[in-house]
Chain A
Amino acid sequence: MAAIEFRNVIKRFDNGKVTVIPDLSLEIKDKEFIVLVGPSGCGKSTTLRMIAGLEDITEGELYIDNKRVNNVAPKDRDIAMVFQSYALYPHMNVYKNMAFALKLRKVPKKEIDKKVRWAASILDIEPYLDRKPRALSGGQRQRVALGRAMVRNPKVFLLDEPLSNLDAKLRTEMRSQITMLHKRLQTTFVYVTHDQTEAMTMADRIAVMDKGVIRQFDTPQKLYAEPADMFVAGFIGSPRMNFIECEIKRRNDYLTAEFAGNSLRIPSAKTKALEAYENRTVILGIRPEDISAYSGGMNMQESCVITANADIAEMTGGEVNVYFTLENSRCIARIRTERKITSGDKIKLLLDCNMAHFFDKETTKAIGRI
C-alpha cells in the first residue's frame, strides 16, 4: 500500500549514449491499478524495472511511499514482481517457490505455511504445492508467480506482461483473476502490457507511452472518448481509429468537414475550437464502431452518409469488419448488419458526427477536447 512518484526521471543506457526515458514525471496513487501501455521499445518495462530497482535511475527522483528509493536495493523496496517468463525457481517445488522470500526474511515456519496455503487457496493451486514448475501448465505457473508475490504482502505489485505467454482463453480468465486480486489485496498494482484490451479492462488509470514519453495518463473511459493525440487515439481501441484528411469549411452558421466529396456537419460543441482551422486541412478521426450501415431515415444533421467500396469484409460473428478506402486512407467499419456484405460490394455507411475527433495535422494533438 503505497503511492509511487517519478520526478523528472531520465534513463540512459550505453554510458549515456542512448536515452530511453527522456523526462518522466508520474504520480501513482495508493491502491491504484495502473497500466503502462505502449508499443515495443516505448520504455514501459524500463519504467517498471526502475520501480523494482532492477534498473538504475540516471537522473531525477523516484519515491515509493514518500521515501526516496533511487539507491535502495530491490529487496528493501517492499515490492513484489511477476515476470513475463514467470521466473519460477525450477529446482524448487511450488511451496518452496512461494515460501522462499519469507524464509529469507526469517518469518516463522508456521506463519510461512499459513501464508502459502492462504495464497494457494485464493489462486486455486493447492493441489500443486508439491510439484516442480516444469510439471505445471502456463496458467498454473502464472498463478504460482502471483502467489509468490502475494505471500510477501508487498506495498507495490509490479507485473511485467504477465499474460503474454498464455493462450487467448486463459488470458481472459487470468485478466479477471488479477483484477479480483487487486480488489481483494487493496495494494498498488503497476502492470505493463502492449495489449490495449488488457489495459482497458483492468486499469483504474492507464499511462500510454511512446518513445519514453507518457502521451496521456487517464482513465480508460477518458482515453477512449477523449484521446489527447493521434497516437493515443490510434493505440486505444480495436480495430484502431480511422484517420481521414479533411478540410474545414463554413456553411452558413455551422462548420463542416469535407473529404472525398462528402460533407460531415461538425457538432456545435466542437465548432468553437475548429473555427481557427477554417479552410485548413485537419485529421478527422472516427472509430470503426461509430460507423454503421445506412438504412435511410436518419437525422442528417448529426450524421453523414458516405458511399464506399468494401475492399474486404471480415465476418467476426455478430459483426462485420468492412475495410474501405477514403482519400487514400485505409479505413475500417465495424458494422452490425443483417445484410450479407461481401468483398467488392458498394455500401452506404453512416458516420456519427458526435463521435468524430479532430486532430491538428502538424502537431497531431486533439483539437477541441471537451
Chain B
Amino acid sequence: MHKSLKKYFPVFVMPVLAAFTVSFLAPFAMGVYLSFTRFKTVDSSEWVGFENYISIFTQDETFLYSLWLTVRFTVVSIITVNVLAFAVALLLTRKLKGINFFRTVFFMPNLIGGIVLGHIWSLIINGILGFYGVDITYDPSYGFWGLVVQMNWQMIGYMMIIYIAGLQNIPEQINEAAAIDGASPVRKLFSITLPMVMPSVTICTFLTLTNSFKLFDQNLALNGKNAETSLLALDIYKTFYDHTGLRLAEWHGIGQAKAVVFFLLVAVIAFVQLRVTGRKEVEH
C-alpha cells in the first residue's frame, strides 16, 4: 500500500502542482519581480531596485490615505458584520416559525455579484441623498458609510450561516446546566455561548477581515470615481490604469510594488488574527 502510494505519488500530485505553478506561483513570482522594475509590458522591464517601494511613500500621496481608509473600513466592517451576523444567528436558532425562510432571505445578498451590488446600492443611496440635493460623492463620509452598509448587507448572511453552525454545535445540556447554575441570558451569552463559538468567530473574523481589506468591485461600482473613498485595492487599480504618458512605466512599477505591500499586509494581519482568536478556541 505504502509502496504503491510512493510509486504513484507523482502521477496524482504533478497535475495539481503544475496547474498551481502556472496559475499562481509563476505569476506571483513574476509580480514580485516586476515590483522592482519599471515596465510597460512584462517583456520590457527595467530593474530599479527598491525605488518603486520608496516612491509609494514619497511620490504617491494616495497610498497612505487609502491604506488608512481601508484600515478604518475593515475595523468598522469586522465589528458591524460580526455583531449583526451573530445577533441574527442567535435569533434564527430559536424555535420560531419560518426560520428556514428567514435564513434563506438573509443569505441571498451573498449570491449577487459585487459589481451589480455596488450599482444597486449606488442607486439606493443616491436616490435617498437626492432628496437633500447631494449624492454619494458629496462627502467622503457618505461614501465610507455607504461601503460599510453595502458590506454588511452582503456579508451578514454568509457569516450568519457560520455562526448558526457554531451555535448549533453547543450541546443543549451545556445551556441547561447554565440555566440551572443561574446564568441570566446576558451572562450566558458572554460566559458560555461566545467562548464556545470561538471557532466560528475565528473563521468569520478572518473572512470579514480579508474580504474588507481586499474589497474592490463593490467599491468600484458604488463610488469608484471618488479618490477620497478609494480603498487600497481600487487605489492600486487606479495607479495602474489611470495614468498615461511618459511616466506610464514608472506608475506600473509603483502599482506593482503597492500590490506586493498589499499582499504582505493582508497576509500578516490575517496570520496574527488567526493566532489571536485561534488561541481562544476550545475543544468541546
Chain A: minimal CB distance from B191 (Å): 8
Give the segment of B8-16, B49-57, B117-125, B168-176 that binds chain A: B168-176
Can you show 18 pairs from A to B with CB atoms below 8 A apart?
A54-B180, A73-B179, A75-B179, A81-B176, A81-B180, A83-B173, A85-B171, A87-B171, A87-B173, A87-B174, A87-B177, A88-B177, A90-B282, A91-B282, A101-B180, A101-B181, A104-B181, A148-B181
Chain A: minimal CB distance from B218 (Å): 36
> Which residues from B are CB-within-8-Å of A233?
none
Alpha-carbon gap, A84 to B181, bound state (A): 16
Q: Is the CB of B181 within 8 A of A100?
A: yes
Q: Is the CB of B176 within 8 A of A91?
A: no
Q: Does B183 lie at the interface of the complex (its beta carbon under 8 Å from any beta carbon of A)?
A: yes
Chain B residue nearest in CB terms to A52: B180
| Of A73, A81, A91, the contact of B177 (CB 8 Å cutoff) | A81
Q: Does B192 lie at the interface of the complex (its beta carbon under 8 Å from any beta carbon of A)?
A: yes
Q: Does A80 lie at the interface of the complex (its beta carbon under 8 Å from any beta carbon of B)?
A: yes
Interface string of A82-114 (1 = CB under 8 A from B): 011101111100000000110011000000000
> Which residues from B are CB-within-8-Å of A88?
177
Chain A: minimal CB distance from B244 (Å): 58
If A75-B181, A104-B187, A105-B182 touch, does A87 touch B176 (CB 8 Å cutoff)?
Answer: yes
Chain A residue nearest in CB terms to B170: A90
B: residues with CB less than 8 A from A are 171, 173-174, 176-183, 187, 191-192, 195-196, 198, 282-284
Alpha-carbon gap, A104 to B183, bound state (A): 7
| Of B174, B182, B187, the contact of A89 (CB 8 Å cutoff) | B174
Q: Is the CB of A134 within 8 A of B176?
A: no
Alpha-carbon gap, A84 to B176, bound state (A): 12
Chain A: minimal CB distance from B195 (Å): 4
Q: Does A132 lie at the interface of the complex (its beta carbon under 8 Å from any beta carbon of B)?
A: yes
If A83-B173, A104-B187 touch, does A90 touch B182 (CB 8 Å cutoff)?
Answer: no
Alpha-carbon gap, A226 to B282, bound state (A): 52
Q: Is the CB of A91 within 8 A of B174?
A: no
Contact residues of A: prevailing secondary structure: loop
Q: Does A74 lie at the interface of the complex (its beta carbon under 8 Å from any beta carbon of B)?
A: yes
Alpha-carbon gap, A84 to B191, bound state (A): 22
Chain A: minimal CB distance from B170 (Å): 10
Alpha-carbon gap, A89 to B181, bound state (A): 11
> Which residues from B are CB-within-8-Å of A87?
171, 173-174, 176-177
| Of A53, A90, A148, the contact of B284 (CB 8 Å cutoff) | A90
Alpha-carbon gap, A180 to B191, bound state (A): 33
Alpha-carbon gap, A53 to B183, bound state (A): 14
Q: Does A79 lie at the interface of the complex (its beta carbon under 8 Å from any beta carbon of B)?
A: yes
| Of A75, A89, A91, A132, the contact of B180 (CB 8 Å cutoff) | A75
Interface string of A126-164 (1 = CB under 8 A from B): 000000101000000000000010000000000000000
Alpha-carbon gap, A109 to B99, bound state (A): 43
A: residues with CB less than 8 A from B are 52-54, 73-75, 79-81, 83-85, 87-91, 100-101, 104-105, 132, 134, 148
Chain B residue nearest in CB terms to A105: B182
Interface centre among A52, A80, A100, A148 (most CB of B within 10 A): A100
Shortest 5 CB-CB distances between A and B: which pairs? A75-B182, A101-B181, A87-B173, A87-B177, A91-B195
Chain B: minimal CB distance from A323 (Å): 40
Chain B: minimal CB distance from A162 (Å): 12
Interface centre among B180, B187, B196, B198 (most CB of A within 10 A): B180
Q: Is the CB of A134 within 8 A of B174?
A: no
> Which residues from A are CB-within-8-Å of B178?
89
> Which residues from B are CB-within-8-Å of A53?
179-180
Q: Is the CB of A79 within 8 A of B180?
A: yes
> Which residues from B are CB-within-8-Å of A148?
181
> Which residues from A are CB-within-8-Å of B181?
75, 100-101, 104, 148
Alpha-carbon gap, A79 to B182, bound state (A): 10
Alpha-carbon gap, A73 to B184, bound state (A): 11
Chain B: minimal CB distance from A268 (Å): 54
Q: Is the CB of B179 within 8 A of A74?
A: yes
> Which residues from B are CB-within-8-Å of A89?
174, 177-178, 192, 195
> Which residues from B are CB-within-8-Å of A79?
180
If A85-B171, A90-B282, A90-B283 touch, does A74 touch B196 (CB 8 Å cutoff)?
Answer: no
> Which residues from A are CB-within-8-Å of B177?
81, 83, 87-89
Chain A residue nearest in CB terms to B181: A101
> Which residues from B are CB-within-8-Å of A74?
176, 179-180
Alpha-carbon gap, A14 to B81, bound state (A): 36
> Which residues from A are CB-within-8-Å of B183?
75, 100, 104
Q: Is the CB of B283 within 8 A of A134?
A: yes
Chain A: minimal CB distance from B278 (Å): 14
Alpha-carbon gap, A87 to B179, bound state (A): 12
Alpha-carbon gap, A52 to B173, bound state (A): 12
Alpha-carbon gap, A84 to B177, bound state (A): 11
Alpha-carbon gap, A74 to B196, bound state (A): 22
| Of A80, A83, A90, A101, the contact of B176 (CB 8 Å cutoff) | A83
Chain B: minimal CB distance from A274 (Å): 50
Chain B: minimal CB distance from A136 (Å): 12
Alpha-carbon gap, A52 to B179, bound state (A): 10
| Of B171, B179, B187, B196, the contact of A91 (CB 8 Å cutoff) | B196
If A85-B173, A132-B282 touch, does A90 touch B180 (CB 8 Å cutoff)?
Answer: no
